Amino acid sequence: MIGKKTLRGAPLLKNLQMDNNEITCVDDISIRMLKDMEILTLNKNNITTLGKDLFEGMKKLRVLRISDNPFTCDCHLSWLAGWLRRNPRLGLFSKCNIPLYLKNKAIAELHDFDFRCTGAEEEPPAGCSREPMCPHPCSCYDGVVDCRDKGLSRIPDHIPDTATELRLEQNQIREIPSKAFASFKRLKRIDLSNNEISKIAGDAFSGLKTLTSLVLYGNKITDLTSGIFKGLSSLQLLLLNANKISCLRKDTFSDLQNLNLLSLYDNNIQSLANGTFNSLHNIQTLHLARNPFICDCNLRWLAEYLHANPIETSGARCETPRRMHRRRISQMRETKYKCKGTEAYRTRGAGECSAIHDCPDPCVCEGTVVDCSGKRLRDIPDNIPAYTTELRLNNNVIPKIKSNGFFKKLQHLTKIDLSNNEISEIEDGAFQGANQLADLLLTENKLKDVTSKMFSGIPSLKTLMLRTNLLTCISNDTFSGLESLQLLSLYDNRITHIMPGSFDKMPTLTTLNLLANPLKCSCRLRWLSEWLKKSNAVTGNPRCQAPMSLKDIPIQDVDKKD
């Protein structure tokens, strides 16, 4: 349709080519204002009539093509025959479609008496103010717009305002745009099941105050945007089963006070925030089965809720932890829902959808441990879950640890294993934000140098493993800032020199391993002999490797004069 406002703002338009579309109506006002039009082509559309003297104001028009349209040659189109005869080079091959006795007749060859109107046809058409009665290729009856299995990739245009039921199931629709149904005030049921929907705008269902049924099962929905069901106060049935939803915000159903049936069956939901169903005052049936629920202390409320409201009829069961595997949620005592150690971190933020994420490919997740070891990774996966307490990245081929703020989101991380990689560089502040990090394993890499800035922002670090790297020298500020460090392993490097005071800024150090290094016992290392004698740290008695006269002698046993 070319409506009244379609070409608003383009009064100087000279060339408009809209062939091979599905235009059914051209509004008089939109075309009459185009006084400078030179080329207008509307071939191969679905236009049945044109407003009287539509082209009279286009004095510059030199190309007009309107053939291959199903023109209705009644009294309202008689003007076109005369106009075409006066402009013989324009509108060539324009023919009638109906009535039957004029079918395929050239309009320019007809006379006024050929164009007849009877009864209801006497009134001229009302421009394009009224949309088609039913969208193509759907069928419409008794308020039902039936577009089932029509191969649609989007919600069709020209849905009548009087529609009460919209059937769009079994198509290939991928997205529901903003305010997709806002103008259909009488809609009571929408069925979008068995499509390919993965994206729904936050206000897609706004304005549907009379909607009672919303069917969305069998799609690819992973997330429900905050406020997506806002204002659907009449909704009684909501089917979200057989999707890929992994998280529900606590306020997702806050406006659905009249909901009777809610199905979340067969999704990827691992936990639900306490109070998720509080606003469902009229809920009678709830389907939660075939979701991988983590039955820990944060899901205890759901067991209590289902004991008080026995409405879950699909047999929802626990997936993890192992001690709860396959147990019915509604039949377990509340005391069974426990959190051991750091388990609570994984599901604590369920209602904000900030904590729970699918395990990153190709890693394996068990509890709060994310194991990405031995996967030939060159980078740390971006989507490490926020609940992670231990991250295993050993036995990969990671060459560099970047300072990109990655660890700021891992507030519960206590251990990182990066051993046996290809790491030759750690950017300054790479671990910034991992405030709870206690153990950092960098064994068997290719580090030639370490600085204090590499380990800035990890004040809780207690264990630092740097064994089997390529370090040659330790300066007196290398480990500054690691005041909580208790174990430092520098075993099997290429260290020949250690600057005085290198270990003085680690007051809690209890274990220091310097073995298997080619330490050169010159006067510059005299301080270390004294430090080892006074220190309470377990050191394993590091030995000199040079000069030859002191080879294999424990450093703390070397006389000052030597």
CATH number of the domain encompassing residue 67: 3.80.10.10
Query: Would you say residue 445 lies in a domain?
Result: yes
C-alpha distances (whole Å) from 472 to each of 423, 542, 552 are: 16, 15, 19
Query: Would you say residue 275 lies in a domain?
Result: no
**The domain containing residue 47 runs over which residues?**
15-114
Residues 6+ apart with CB under 8 A from 65: 19, 40, 41, 42, 43, 91, 92
Where on the phi/psi map is residue 488: left (φ > 0), alpha (ψ -120 to 50), or beta? beta
C-alpha distances (whole Å) from 333 to each of 299, 303, 330 are: 12, 7, 8
pTM of the predicted model, to two decimals? Answer: 0.57
Contact status, residue 152 vs residue 171, Cβ threshold 8 Å = yes
* pLDDT at site 159: 87
Give me the number of domains the chain comprises.
Answer: 2
Q: In whole angstroms, what is the distance from residue 540 CA to residue 416 CA? A: 25
N- to C-terminal Cα separation, the chain: 99
Residues of the chain with pLDDT under 50: 120-122, 129-132, 355
> Peptide bond preceding 362: is omega within 30 degrees of 0, i.e. cis?
yes
3-state helix, strand, coil in the chain (%, to 5): 15, 15, 70
Last residue in a domain, options 85, 114, 143:
114
Query: Would you say residue 265 lies in a domain?
Result: no
- Identify how many contiguous H helices and E strands the chain contains and give both numbers: 5, 29
Where on the phi/psi map is residue 42: left (φ > 0), alpha (ψ -120 to 50), or beta? alpha
Burial label, 11 (beta-carbon count in 10 A; 0-12, 13-18, 19+): exposed
Query: Would you say residue 471 lies in a domain?
Result: yes
Contact status, residue 275 vs residue 251, Cβ threshold 8 Å = no
Q: In whole angstroms, what is the distance from residue 176 CA to residue 153 CA? A: 11
Query: Would you say residue 197 lies in a domain?
Result: no
> Each residue of 156-188: pLDDT tens digit?
988 888 899 999 999 999 999 999 999 899 999
Last residue in a domain, options 114, 140, 159:
114
Contact status, residue 66 vs residue 91, Cβ threshold 8 Å = yes
Query: Would you say residue 456 lies in a domain?
Result: yes
* pLDDT at site 4: 67
Query: Residue 218 corresponds to which amino acid?
Result: G
Last residue in a domain, options 86, 114, 142:
114
SS (H, E, C) 441-507: ECCCCCCCCCCHHHHCCCCCCCEEECCCCCCCEECCCCCCCCCCCCEEECCCCCCCEECCCCCCCCC
Query: Would you say residue 235 lies in a domain?
Result: no
Q: From 449, 454, 458, select the one nearest 411 (Cα to Cα).
A: 458
* pLDDT at site 197: 97
C-alpha distances (whole Å) from 318 to each of 291, 304, 312, 368 are: 8, 15, 14, 17
Query: Would you say residue 217 lies in a domain?
Result: no
